[in-house]
Structure 1
Amino acid sequence: MGDILFLAHRVPFPPDRGDKIRSHHLLKGLAKLGRVHVGTFVETDQDREQEASLAAIAASYCLPTRSKSLPRAGMEALLGNRAVSQAAFFDAELAKWVGDTLARHPIDKIFVFSGQMGQYIPSDFAGQVVVDLCDVDSEKFATYAQESGFPRSVLYRREAALLTAEEVRLARSTDTTLLITEKEADILRARPGAERADIRALGNGVDTEFFDPAATDPHPALAGQGHHIVFTGQMDYPPNIAAVERFARRILPAIRERLAAQFHIVGRAPTPEVAKLACIAGVKVWGEVPDVRPFLRSADAVVAPLMLARGVQNKVLEAMAMARPVLASEEAATGIDATDGQQWRICRDDGAFERAILDLAADEGQAKNMGRAARRFVVENMSWEAVEAGLADILGQAEARHHDAA
């Protein structure tokens, strides 16, 4: 195997949010297969501090700062008749580096993480190309369009249409297209033009040595009386915002009529609308914390009441690895084949979340058994080692098989 070119829309360090967790472990898996050259972006000073970690694993790298404003990206997208998501991640420096790197090094495989980076694949590259879309982003924007009023609905509809065309183009012109779940893969397979593409599911994993309750101390603020319910996630992400608003406003008040419950919202960059939830009795908004594990370790229950979710939710896997009873919506449960009622609870409406919290609070033994079963499930079935093995199988194919140059 020759060298590998890895392109990602965010620097894969530290692995502390959904996309970075996946790209981090995929990069580690690729580095076990050969020398990897990495092109990726930094967005903050904290991202720039990760350069040493990137240098330690990459044979060479390009790390430009992504500072393009959304209005500028929108204007470029309109002028170029392409998605805003693509325009936002185009950088001339990175494009030049890709060409120079392919000319200087014996690269025979390109691995693209996220659809925004597909624009950097040279049309004349003769080696194997794998693109990991993670989720079908066009479907997400189509949902946003349905749920939004004018003029946002028009903008979202345009983004959905252009991303659909790009996703199909990538599926047809690359050797293998990856999605996190079979459900997402089926969505793309059903797109006109993608019927003959090699589209596969490669799931997420969880680091069960890092997320281990035996190696984590409880959080002192959650050690007092009361029933502690925890949600973790990036708190400027619309589906997470909607999830915590749903729980804080619609579910928690009914629970508190019968149980002294506290709802802890843990995650970086809470928006003003999330911060306002702290005014509701029993809600604590923590914002960014150094480590989510003590919160998970101390939780009586972890909830994932998402109404829109794409792919496997890392937050759910991490809570299960920490041996917590997890209560998830059907949307948040996608791609995790745990058994409802044994390794977690699937809650199909607000009342189901309320009943599950009260049931588990009344039966401590049931809650502990569910947590133990949850950890056993992820240790046995959802490790990153298994994901890396699947990646090695895909990259180990003898010949590239470009489907369609269109």
Structure 2
Amino acid sequence: MKALILTNRVPFPPNSGYPIVVYNTIKGLLNLGVEISLFSLNVSKHRVDVDDIYDLVFEKINFHSYHIDIEVNIWGAFFNIFSNQSYNVSRFYDDDAARILENVLRENEFDIIQFEGLFVVPYLDLVKANSKAKLIYRAHNIEFDVWERLAARERFTPRRKYLEFLSRRLKIYEKEQINRFHQVFAISEPDRQNILQFGCQTKLDVFPVAVDFEKYKVDLTKTSFPTLFHLGAMDWRPNKEGLEWFLEEIWPDIEKLSGELRFYIAGKNMQREFFDYDSDNLIVEGEVFDAVEFMNSKAIMIVPLLSGSGMRVKIIEGMAMKKCIIATSMAAEGIACEHGKDILIADTPDEFYRSILQCITQPHRWREIGEQARKTVERDHDINGNTKRMLAIYESLTTK
């Protein structure tokens, strides 16, 4: 079985949501004997020096990439208004990248070509013209939904109108593309339902975030208490928006609960304004070298997302590390978790306050929830079980 995977960023190192999902997919398929080729857009926002990649998984694949600048250009955004294209998507297409991909397709015969996310779909026509492989689209989230929800929360009218415009264009594009594949993978059951509402008529299955549990070693002797933490890429607008809400509306009351309580904020591309919150009780760390070690050292994970779709990889990782996670319903969407059993759901400042108070006054409580969280992700998110099921679909598609 030969598979080509197309990605909108280089999934090495696997240090945030999208790279982790892609990396674990590749690792699991390699373990099952699938020959993997990877074509990645090496985007300016997340540029990786390919020569500095030292990874056993990387050594086992056939890798191709092209550096592309996807930064928002004011004039480009303006003139796009008068076109019929989605600016969010069109920025990922480049003629030179297309030529490299075309050469890969002409020099190799693939059984499966998997598009990881909407932003590599602009290359679909090229792939169709140069390959007879079965084509799979994996929706990491419902892209237009992210922008639609952001627009709904935007108070500045001109910005809200533009966000609404972007979401409409994305929605049209997503709906147009969804039936052009042989198979679609949704990352959660709610996303599967949304895709069905698009009018999806092709085969549709759910493949949640899968993790390699060998990576998530828990050592409670290194976990400090009472500690809260937030971990996430801070250049992703829903993360930024949610954390701002928590710091403004919830943290001032939480901080008064105990002089020993500490709240640690970490993540890539930490925005400058968050350092203004730094105090004796609130520590802004920025990007951490080892996310798993960072999670292991803290007790309670805070995920105050107010928008977004898909499945939060950091929550899955936190559950794998036996963390007690306090999250909004939005953040936990798509994860088969149960409030009060393997997670605590909080959607209002009062609910966050009560949940945090419960955890810091009853230390056994957060440990019990964390233990159950690990059992939940072992049941639903194991890399081996998920990739075996994916390979079975590959085989079914290619024998038809």
Fold agreement, TM-score > 0.5:
yes
Tell me if structure 1 keeps the 8 A contact 2:86–2:170.
yes
The alpha-carbon deviation at position 390 of structure 1 amounts to 2.5
Hey, what does 2:34 align to over in structure 1? Answer: 34
Tell me if structure 2 keeps the 8 A contact 1:306–1:332.
yes
Q: Which whole-Å deviations, capped at 9, do the CAs of 1:260-283 have from their partners, x for residues lacking one?
A: 32211111111123222226x622
* Aligned mates of 1:267, 1:166 — CA distance in 2: 31
Task: Write the mapping of 1:1-400 to structure 2, written as runs, cut at 5 A.
Answer: 1=1, 3-31=2-30, 32-42=32-42, 43=44, 46-51=48-53, 53=55, 56-59=59-62, 61-71=63-73, 74=77, 77-78=80-81, 81-121=84-124, 122=126, 123-124=128-129, 125-148=131-154, 149-191=156-198, 194-214=199-219, 218=222, 223=224, 227-260=226-259, 261-278=261-278, 282-399=281-398
Tell me if structure 1 keeps the 8 A contact 2:10–2:48.
no
Q: Which whole-Å deviations, capped at 9, do the CAs of 1:172-207 have from their partners, x for residues lacking one?
A: 11011222111112112112xx24232332101233
* Aligned mates of 2:83, 2:136 — CA distance in 1: 25
Structure 2 CA distance for partners of 1:323 and 1:370, relative to 1, 3 Å = same
The alpha-carbon deviation at position 335 of structure 1 amounts to 1.7
Hey, what does 1:404 align to over in structure 2? Answer: none
Tell me if structure 2 keeps the 8 A contact 1:11–1:47.
no
* Aligned mates of 1:217, 1:74 — CA distance in 2: 52
SS in structure 1 of the partner of residue 329 of structure 2: coil
SS in structure 2 of the partner of residue 40 of structure 1: strand
Structure 2 CA distance for partners of 1:340 and 1:12, relative to 1, 3 Å = same
Structure 2 CA distance for partners of 1:77 and 1:39, relative to 1, 3 Å = farther
The alpha-carbon deviation at position 47 of structure 1 amounts to 4.2
The alpha-carbon deviation at position 368 of structure 1 amounts to 1.8
SS in structure 2 of the partner of residue 377 of structure 1: helix
Q: Which whole-Å deviations, capped at 9, do the CAs of 1:261-308 have from their partners, x for residues lacking one?
A: 2211111111123222226x6221110110123332232311111111
The alpha-carbon deviation at position 399 of structure 1 amounts to 4.4
Structure 2 CA distance for partners of 1:345 and 1:146, relative to 1, 3 Å = closer
Q: Which whole-Å deviations, capped at 9, do the CAs of 1:299-341 have from their partners, x for residues lacking one?
A: 2311111111312211112112111211111111112212221
Structure 2 CA distance for partners of 1:289 and 1:55, relative to 1, 3 Å = closer
Structure 2 CA distance for partners of 1:133 and 1:398, relative to 1, 3 Å = closer
Tell me if structure 2 keeps the 8 A contact 1:39–1:94.
no
* Aligned mates of 1:18, 1:156 — CA distance in 2: 23
Instruction: List runs of 5+ in structure 2 lacking aligned partners.
Output: none
SS in structure 1 of the partner of residue 184 of structure 2: strand
* Aligned mates of 1:176, 1:128 — CA distance in 2: 8
* Aligned mates of 2:33, 2:80 — CA distance in 1: 37
The alpha-carbon deviation at position 19 of structure 1 amounts to 0.6
Bigger drift between 32-41 and 352-361 goes to 32-41
Tell me if structure 2 keeps the 8 A contact 1:171–1:199.
no
The alpha-carbon deviation at position 367 of structure 1 amounts to 2.1
The alpha-carbon deviation at position 134 of structure 1 amounts to 0.9
* Aligned mates of 1:126, 1:362 — CA distance in 2: 61
* Aligned mates of 2:390, 2:277 — CA distance in 1: 41
Bigger drift between 352-361 and 385-394 goes to 385-394
Bigger drift between 392-401 and 9-18 goes to 392-401
Q: Give TM-score scaled by structure 2 length.
A: 0.90
For 1:304, the aligned partner's letter is V
Tell me if structure 1 keeps the 8 A contact 2:134–2:182.
yes
